[in-house]
Amino acid sequence: MTTEVASGRKARPDRYDAIIVGSGIGGLVCGGYLAADGRRVLVLEQHDVAGGNAHVFRRRRRYEFDVGTHYLGDCGEDGIIPAILSGLGVGDRVRFRPMDNERGFDRVITPTVTLDVPSGWDNYRDRLKRALPGEAAGIDRFVDLAKTTTALSRASLLGEPVMDLYRASPEVTRWSRRSLGAVFDHCGFSARARTVLAAQFGNYGALPADVSFSVHANLMDHYLRGAYYPEGGGQVLVAALVEALEGYGGELRTRTSVARILVEDDTAVGVELSDGERITAPLVISNADYRRTVLDLCGGEAVFPSHLVRQTREATMRFPLTAVYVALDTELPATPNANIWWHADDDLEQAHARMIEEGMREIPQLIFSFASVKDAGAPNVCPPGHSNFQLMTVCPPGHAFWGVDKGPADGGPYRRNAAYVARKQQVTEAMLATAEEVVGPFRDHITHLETATPLTNERYIRASGGTPYGLANWGGVGKRPDVRTGVEGLYVVGQSTRYGSGVGGAATGGMVCASHVLGRRLLAEVHRGAVVGDPSLLPDRGPGWDPLRVSRGRARREAKGLARIG
């Protein structure tokens, strides 16, 4: 039966079991498992391609840049990410290239310390002690606490009985809920040691006082289990998930914007698109920005309790990023197969306080990600003998820093705004100058240069504050919403849930959401080798297979405008 809508168009009949708003990793993982279970799934994406922060873009028919997939952890034989892919039958469709896990997959540089971070907590402990010889007792205390915390977290995720373990470790339970800064205080670390240990805070976008110890420890554990890069880039991972979704009968519609999530009698019933079309389903999963989901898509107090709406409205976001994408017609000399985390000061926390107060007069921290080293020889990354890398730094929150009153998600123009253009040029120049101080001169060899600001991220991802990291403080340090919302049939996934950050966190959150819907401990099942669905239904990959093309969805696969390499 159809119903009339305000636009005069007819609503589609209820032919979907689940609608997913947004096609980030969390939404695609959840949608894939629901489809593999036989549910009729529709994924709606406002951008041209699926992937959210995991998508790529191409330039000059020679270069492909990853937006958010810079490296992945835990992709070995026992890894959670390979288990999630294998559970959908696509484990053999994504290959992971190891970074230099022995010499170091991350290089931390401060004015007085250089530390190459290897895989393994005990190896990391030894390197820390050599770099910070006066901090040995605190390092032991910190690493022991982190190892126990992460072991319990992993056991819990994989369905093992852990209550007795928690009861036997009351100190771990207590400290895992405190901030990273509080644990640093407990360990008696100097400012320099705090900087070295928190150097990779750009993986989650929050300073030690604003992130829980468990978030930091679990993310470090993720990489210390081995750091990898998906062969062919992040879009390969996205495309494999799209193939699973569509192979099991699901549907991906790109360039389709959702205006509202429809809730009636405290129950989700579907969505209304920006063109007025309504699509009904008894289950709606929002992979959109959490604040926009609660306040805009659902209408705030019209759906949720006033205290939750207030908590969401007052929530702070993690730091936004500015990224500079660089291509060169030469190779950078002696570039390690590692990320570089450069810090201008041995006191990270003071340096970032100055950055906020002084409006980024200097670059306090710079992250280097070398795609042409991690995926050496890949034809989509760059031509032979060229370089493709990315520079990133956190920047002050808010639109005012960029010279605008409101962002593109709320209709604010910005790209030709003189103040915005000037600020963007200033930040880009500062980042390039700093980068040359770290790795040597390269600007004479630039063949492509492009900067993405937080407003760029807001435009494409519609993320509050332009951050890729989601919520920072949702009623408490490190506190974040679960995938269940309290509204019947409405769930949330993505970077702002308690299972973020990064690809691994988003994928885990998608698994947890699907588990609640299906009443199964999916992550535990697939980690033990279970496969959900029938892999024989997956599409073949013919000659010229293109992950970006696949990620547009079946209906738009042949549409004009697809950027190509070569």
φ and ψ at residue 424, rounded to 5 degrees = -60, -45
- Indicate whether 425 pLDDT > 50: yes
In terms of C-beta distances under 8 Å and separation of at least 24 residues, what long-range contacts does 149-156 make, across chains too?
149/175, 149/176, 149/213, 149/214, 149/217, 149/218, 150/217, 150/218, 150/220, 150/221, 152/176, 153/214, 153/218, 153/221, 154/221
* pLDDT tens track for 115-163: 999 999 999 999 999 999 999 999 999 999 999 999 989 988 898 776 7
**Is 478 in a helix, a strand, or coil?**
coil
Which comes out higher in pLDDT, residue 174 or 308?
308
Supply the DSSP symbol for 16.
-
Q: Distance between CA 544 and CA 558 in Å, rounded? A: 14
The pairing of beta strand 258-264 with beta strand 387-394: unpaired
Question: Which is nearest to 65 in space by CA: 210, 201, 234?
Answer: 234
φ and ψ at residue 352, rounded to 5 degrees = -75, -30
* pLDDT tens track for 231-249: 999 999 999 999 999 999 9
Q: What is the pLDDT of residue 14?
A: 58
* pLDDT tens track for 320-354: 999 999 999 999 998 999 999 999 999 999 999 99
> Could you tell me which residues are beta bridge partners of residue 278?
272
Q: What is the pLDDT of residue 359?
A: 87
- Indicate whether 186 pLDDT > 80: yes
Q: What is the pLDDT of residue 480?
A: 93
**Is 309 in a helix, a strand, or coil?**
helix
Which comes out higher in pLDDT, residue 361 or 26?
26
Q: What is the pLDDT of residue 68?
A: 93
Q: What is the pLDDT of residue 166?
A: 67
- Indicate whether 432 pLDDT > 60: yes
Q: What is the pLDDT of residue 197?
A: 98
Encoded tokens for 391: 């520079």
Angle at 559 (CA atoms; ends 557, 560), nearest 5 degrees: 135
- State the average pLDDT over residues 169-183: 85
- Indicate whether 56 pLDDT > 80: yes
Encoded tokens for 144: 């022991």
CB atoms within 10 A of CB 365: 22
Weakest-pLDDT range from 174-178, 246-250, 263-267, 414-418: 174-178
CATH architecture of the domain formed by 18-59+78-93+231-315+473-556: 3-Layer(bba) Sandwich (3.50)
Annotate 505-548 with three-state secondary structure.
HHHHHHHHHHHHHHCCCHHHHHHCCCCCCCHHHCCCCCCCCCHH
- Indicate whether 3 pLDDT > 60: no
Q: What is the pLDDT of residue 161?
A: 73
- State the average pLDDT over residues 33-40: 97
Q: What is the pLDDT of residue 456?
A: 96
Q: What is the pLDDT of residue 174?
A: 82
Q: What is the pLDDT of residue 566?
A: 87
Q: Distance between CA 37 and CA 14 in Å, rounded? A: 19
> Could you tell me which residues are beta bridge partners of residue 251?
42
**Cis link prior to 536 (omega < 30° from 0)?**
no
Q: Extract the runs of DSSP E, i.e. beta strands, from 238-396.
A: 251-253, 258-264, 267-273, 278-280, 284-286, 316-317, 321-328, 339-343, 365-370, 387-394
Q: What does pTM read for this prediction?
A: 0.95
C-alpha of 501 from chain center: 6
- Indicate whether 4 pLDDT > 60: no
Buried b (16+ CB within 10 A) or exposed e, 235-254: bbbbbbbbbbbbbbebbbbb
* pLDDT tens track for 498-525: 997 899 999 999 999 999 999 999 999 9
Cβ atoms of residues 475 and 271 within 8 Å: no
Question: Which is nearest to 290 in space by CA: 480, 6, 561?
Answer: 480
Angle at 466 (CA atoms; ends 551, 477), nearest 5 degrees: 110
Question: Which is nearest to 443 in space by CA: 539, 280, 324, 313?
Answer: 324
Q: What is the pLDDT of residue 500?
A: 79
**Residue partners of 487: CB distance under 8 A and separation at least 6:** 263, 266, 267, 268, 298, 303, 304
> Could you tell me which residues are beta bridge partners of residue 264?
267
| C-alpha to C-alpha distances, 3 to 10, 11, 13, 330, nearest whole angstrom | 6, 6, 9, 61
Angle at 394 (CA atoms; ends 389, 400), nearest 5 degrees: 125
Q: What is the pLDDT of residue 10?
A: 41
The percent of residues in the chain predicted with pLDDT above 70, rounded, is 96
The pairing of beta strand 63-66 with beta strand 56-59: antiparallel
- Indicate whether 13 pLDDT > 60: no
Weakest-pLDDT range from 10-24, 32-46, 247-261, 346-360: 10-24
H/E run at residue 82: helix 80-87
Cβ atoms of residues 202 and 341 within 8 Å: yes
- Indicate whether 20 pLDDT > 50: yes
- Indicate whether 164 pLDDT > 70: no
**Residue partners of 227: CB distance under 8 A and separation at least 6:** 71, 72, 73, 98, 99, 101, 105, 106, 119
Which comes out higher in pLDDT, residue 95 or 13?
95
**Is 526 in a helix, a strand, or coil?**
helix
H/E run at residue 527: helix 522-527
> What is the 3-state composition of the chain as percent helix, strand, coil, each rounded to the nearest 5?
40, 20, 40
Q: What is the pLDDT of residue 9?
A: 37
Q: What is the pLDDT of residue 160?
A: 79
Residue 155 is which amino acid?
Answer: A
Q: Domain-by-domain residue ranges, the chain?
A: 18-59+78-93+231-315+473-556, 120-224, 319-466
